[in-house]
Amino acid sequence: MTTAKSIEQRFSLSGRVALVTGGARGIGEMIAQGLLCAGARVYITSRKQEDLDQKVAELSQSGECIGLLADVSSSEGINALVASFAEREQQLDILINNAGKTWGAPLETFPESAWDDVMTINVKAPFLLIQALLPSMRQGATPEQPRHIVNIGSVAGIVKDGIRAYSYQASKAAIHHLTGILAKELVKDHINVNAIVPGSFPSKMTAGITRTEEQKSALQSTIPMGRMGEPDDIANLAIYICSSTYMTGAVVPIDGGAVLGNTIGYESFWGG
C-alpha cells in the first residue's frame, strides 16, 4: 500500500541545488526552467555573458537562478566552472550535462576537426565535469536523498539513420554507454546516473532542419506522434528523474515515438 502523498511531496526539488550546462538556451533552458518551477536553486552556464544575463533575468521569474560563465571545451574551462560553483555552494544535488555540439558533412569530406570538437563537448566534457564535481555530489548523499547526474543523449545515438553527423551520432551512443558505466560505479555513493534521450525539440541545433514549412512537416511526418517535443515534455521528465530515488542507469527516450519509427526524419545537420 502506498502512502498518500501530495504531488508537491512526490516531486518537489525544494532545497536542491542544480547545475545545467548550456542552460541559457534550447533544451538546457527548458530543463532549467522545469527544475526552477520544482523549487531547485539552478545554476546555468553559457559562454556569453550577455546571453547569460538576459536568461538569468528571464528564468529568475520562476525561481532562484544564477548564471556562471563557462566554456567546457577544455579542462581549464571545466576547472574554472567548478571553481566558480565552489565559491557559492558546497554541495551539488543535480548535474545536467546538457551542453552539446553537432556537425554534419558528407562521408567523403567529413572533417577530422568535427571529431575532436564534438567528442570533446559531448563526451569528454561531461566525464571531466562529473569527475571534478564528485566530491560535492558525494557529500551528504543518502539512499533517501540521492544525487542525480543526468546526461543528455539523443535519439541520434540509437537510430542508425545516416544523417551525416558521424561524430555526433557516435558521441551520443558513447554518452548513453558511459551513463550505465558510471551508474554502476556510483550507486554505492548514492549518486544516480541516468540519460535523457531527446527526439526532435526546437532549438538552435535543429533550426537549420526546420527552417521551411516543408522541412518541418517532413520531419514531423517521421515522428509517430506527428510533432516535435515541447518544453514541458522534457522538463517533466527531468523533474521526475531528479525527484526519484530508485532509478539509475536508465537511458530514457522522450521522442514522440521516434525510436519506434526507427528514423530521424532529416538527411543531415550541415555545419555545427
Ligand X SMILES: NC(=O)c1ccc[n+]([C@@H]2O[C@H](COP(=O)([O-])OP(=O)(O)OC[C@H]3O[C@@H](n4cnc5c(N)ncnc54)[C@H](OP(=O)(O)O)[C@@H]3O)[C@@H](O)[C@H]2O)c1
Which residues have a catalytic role annotated?
168
- The yes or no reply on residue 53 touching ligand X (CB under 6 A) is no
Which is closer to ligand X, CB of 90 or CB of 262? 262
Q: Should residue 203 be labelled a site residue for ligand X when binding is judged by CB under 6 A? A: yes
67 binds ligand X (CB under 6 A): no
Q: What is residue 73's DSSP assignment?
A: T
In contact, 37 and 238? CB cutoff 8 Å: no
Nearer to ligand X, 72 or 137 (CB): 72
DSSP string covering 191-255: EEEEEEEE----SHHHHTTSSSHHHHHHHHHTSTTSS---HHHHHHHHHHHHH-SS--S-EEEES
Residue 119, all three cell numbers: 567528442
- 26 in contact with ligand X (CB under 6 A): yes
Closest to ligand X by CB, 71 vs 189, is 71
The phi and psi torsions of 50 (rounded to 5 degrees) equal -65, -45
**Cβ distance 155 to 259 under 8 Å?**
yes
Residue type, 38: A
Give yes or no for residue 51 binding ligand X (CB under 6 A): yes
Q: Which is nearer to ligand X, 95 or 121 (CB)?
A: 121
Q: Is 154 in the site for ligand X (CB under 6 A)?
A: yes
What is the x/- site pattern for ligand X, positions 106-145, by CB under 6 A?
---------------x------------------------
Residue from 47, 138, 176, 216 touching ligand X (CB under 6 A): that is: 47
Q: Which helix (H) or strand (E) holds 242?
A: helix 231-243
Binding site for ligand X (CB under 6 A): 21-22, 24-28, 46-48, 51, 70-73, 98-101, 121, 152, 154, 198, 200-201, 203-206
